Structures are given as structure tokens and as C-alpha cells.
Amino acid sequence: MKYEAFGLSDVGLVRSNNEDSYLIDKDIHLFIVADGMGGYQKGEVASKIICDSMGEFLRDLASKEAFEYTQENIRQAIVKANSDIRQKILDSPGLERMGSTVISLSFNADKAIVMNVGDSRAYLFRKNKLEQISVDHSLVQETKAAGIKKELPNQFRNIVTRAVGMKDSVEPDFYPNKLKLHDKYLLCSDGLHGYVSDKRIREILSNGGNLESQAQTLIKCAKDEGGGKDNVTCLLIEITESPKPSTESTQTITLTIPSKTANKEIIIEKKNLHLLFILFLLIIVYVYIYF
């Protein structure tokens, strides 16, 4: 599978430091955006720990044979990052409120896995349509899900309901997706989606140009049209070659068939449920004939 990727981060027009971090690791097909929280309490430290810790953990796994991304090993990676942040807090008094959101994307053959904690987002741009993949862990999203139509006051609109490093445990959500040729994924902090509408994002991604120019336009839009009140980070990943079908559905299954003299093992390749059904019918016939 071939793809292109480009990332860009900007401090914005108001803040003095950039608490966002991002990772592009094409060797293991891993992409991360983390938006640190804590202000003077070093949110940028938390976001960098996430990128470094997840990257190191998954690179170590990828160095072993037969590696592929699963929800479980990605969960283990973010649990490790959460633990690393908690340890940093213990070692550094005054950082008790340090934490970060995270959005990640990883590839297996023709499949993608998106993971999030907090309100950093993943979008899919396919056939000129923009779809939000991840669901925000935020007070705004919680009120929408509860059917409350009244908008929250401004002071409550940036509150996240989940974050990495804020507690001893972390609860990620996962969104598996099928990769297709020309798919374009956007990972971003709320410094982009909080100030630039989905409609405007779609327009920018529809206007052509390479990933670098599109990322620059997205950042510029967040600063110029949105006021640049927050740090803004975006990663763009575009699939440039048709992904090869995954082979993970092929498994080796061992079935033991009773015999008057000895147990016999039949090893089959699991291609689909239809073949399994046929095999079970054969087993029934075998037992009926010989017993």
C-alpha cells in the first residue's frame, strides 16, 4: 500500500506556546495528534509523552514477526502513555493538572483503525464528501447525545470528558474503517475543527493541490477566519495505491473427529462461514456412517 502524509502545527495568534504534538511514522504506518492541556502546567509535555510513548511501544511490537495493529495493542499503547504521564506528574510537583487529548490512525493492509480520547478528531474525505469518524469526548457532545438542544455557555464549550494522564486509567474508543484508493484522512486538534466548519474543511480538501498546500490552507483558515485563538495541528494522509485485501480472515482451525481406533485431526483454512458449514455437515455424515 502506498500513501502520502504531511503534518503541520502552529501556535496560533494568541497563545505563547504550542501544547500540540504530532507523530508521523511511515515505517509502521502510525499517525498521532495530541492536544496538551494544563496551560502553565506543561500541556506540551503531556502531548509529547503520548507521541513518544505510543510510538516507542508500537515500534517495539512491529519489530517482532507477524505484527499487525489490533484494538488491543493500540489500547495497550495508550495505557502505557497514560502511565508515563502519571509517572511524570509524580516526579514533577506542580504538574497535577497536566493531560492531553489524542487521536491516532494506523493501517493494516486495506484496513484502518482510528483511536481517540478527548476531542481531537479524525475525518475521512472520500468522493468529495467529508465524514467525521471519531466521536468527541466533550461536554458539548454529551449534551447533544442527551438530546439537549440549548447551546452551552462559552465557558463550558471546551470541557472534555475524557483525557490522557488526568486519571490512573484511560478509556479510548476505536473506529475501524476500510481503506480505499484516494481516501484522505484528516487528524486534527480542536484548534482546527473548533474554529473552521466542516463545510469549509471540505471545500479546502476539494480544491486540489498537494497535502502540504492543503494543510497550510487549513492552518491559515483557522488563524485568519477563526481568530487563531488556539494552537492548531493537522495531519493529512492520502491513499495513493489500491490497498491489498487483508489476509487476517484466514485462520488455521484444528478439529478432532472421533474414530474407533484413534483420533484424527483435520486442518482446514477458514475462508468463510460457508466452508465451515459444509465441514460440519461432513462431520455429521462421518459420525452417522461409522457409528
User: Any idea what DSSP says for residue 282?
Assistant: H
Q: Give me 221's grid cell.
A: 483558515
**What's the confidence (pLDDT) of residue 264?**
29
**What's the confidence (pLDDT) of residue 246?**
67
**What's the confidence (pLDDT) of residue 101?**
98
Cβ contact 7:233 at 8 Å = yes
Q: What's the CA gap between 137 and 116, in Å, rounded?
A: 9
User: Any idea what DSSP says for residue 9?
Assistant: E
> Which positions ≥6 away from 275 have C-beta within 8 Å?
268
Q: What's the CA gap between 38 and 32, in Å, rounded?
A: 20
Q: What is the mean pLDDT of each run of 10 residues along the chain (291 residues)?
A: 96 95 98 89 93 98 91 98 97 90 96 98 98 96 89 82 96 98 98 97 96 98 93 98 69 33 31 38 38 48
Counting runs of H as helices and runs of E as strands, what totals does the chain give? 7, 12
**Cβ atoms within 10 Å of 219's Cβ, excluding its own:** 22
Cβ contact 32:49 at 8 Å = no
Supply the angle between the helices 211-224 and 198-206 in degrees, to the nearest 10: 150
**What's the confidence (pLDDT) of residue 69?**
96
Q: Give me 77's grid cell.
A: 499503547
**What's the confidence (pLDDT) of residue 247?**
59
**What's the confidence (pLDDT) of residue 250?**
36
**What's the confidence (pLDDT) of residue 225?**
87
Q: What's the CA gap between 125 and 3, in Å, rounded?
A: 14
Helices (DSSP H) in 92-209: which residue ranges? Answer: 139-145, 190-193, 198-206
Domains and CATH numbers, the chain: 3-239 (3.60.40.10), 251-290 (no CATH)
- Classify 93 as helix, strand or coil: coil
Plot region of 82 (φ>0 → left; ψ -120 to 50 → alpha; else → beta)? alpha
- Classify 161 as helix, strand or coil: coil
Q: What's the CA gap between 225 and 275, in Å, rounded?
A: 57
Q: What's the CA gap between 219 and 237, in Å, rounded?
A: 16
CA max distance for the chain: 82
**What's the confidence (pLDDT) of residue 60?**
97
**What's the confidence (pLDDT) of residue 40?**
57
Of 51, 182, 196, 208, nearest to 124 by C-alpha is 182
